[in-house]
A and B are shown apart, each in its own frame.
Chain A
Amino acid sequence: DAGVTQSPTHLIKTRGQQVTLRCSPISGHKSVSWYQQVLGQGPQFIFQYYEKEERGRGNFPDRFSARQFPNYSSELNVNALLLGDSALYLCASSRSPSSYEQYFGPGTRLTVT
């Protein structure tokens, strides 16, 4: 079975621009979570979605938003990009929000200049 896939792999944007990152979960997984990982740190939780509804939100500004589609894929949107948004954005899927185990995609490396 295919694992979690993310696109694009790399992205370079300018301050003030907007970006959309995409994630397809493992087949049969209905929950998707997004994380931001700054170089040298552990991932920070941004959002969790299940059945198209937001089930959890981390401590990120309103410039960050996400949605989940009927096929359980998800998009993460970031508006008004700042230099500090440069990071590896990770998507993780699990069968449900109560599942102990989540599986990560390879991530999207976002660079803001």
Chain B
Amino acid sequence: TQLLEQSPQFLSIQEGENLTVYCNSSSVFSSLQWYRQEPGEGPVLLVTVVTGGEVKKLKRLTFQFGDARKDSSLHITAAQPGDTGLYLCAGDDTGNQFYFGTGTSLTVIP
């Protein structure tokens, strides 16, 4: 059962544009992670957010955890072709299990 819904599912943008990916749930999570995955490889951890309302920045990427710890967003500024990949959010319910979102496939066109 998918507890996390991501939107949009697919996104194709030009290099230099900005974008936002959303991760929503009806469940509360103790923490939420964002990963990027490239074809044929495992997901690579980008960031972990644990406090409601928390904002973290990683170069051109900005991550926010909702106040109620049910949702999160990833904003990319001035996207580059190297940002292309599948972006996954994952929530930890403290039950020794991580739930992954449905994924957002991003393509940045040079």
Contact = CB atoms under 8 A, between A and B. Distances in A.
Contact of A45 (B88, B98, B101): B98
B40 A43 contact: no
B9 to A, nearest CB: 9
Contacts, number: 62
Contacts of B96: 48, 55-56, 97
Given A42-B2, A42-B88, A56-B95, A106 B41 contact: yes
Contacts of A42: 2, 4, 88, 90, 100-103
Given A42-B88, A43-B43, A107-B41, A102 B98 contact: yes
B102 A41 contact: yes
Interface string B33-73: 10100001111110010100000000000000000000000
22 contacts: A40-B103, A41-B102, A41-B103, A42-B2, A42-B4, A42-B102, A43-B43, A43-B90, A44-B100, A45-B97, A45-B98, A55-B96, A90-B42, A97-B96, A100-B31, A100-B48, A104-B35, A104-B43, A105-B42, A106-B41, A107-B41, A109-B40
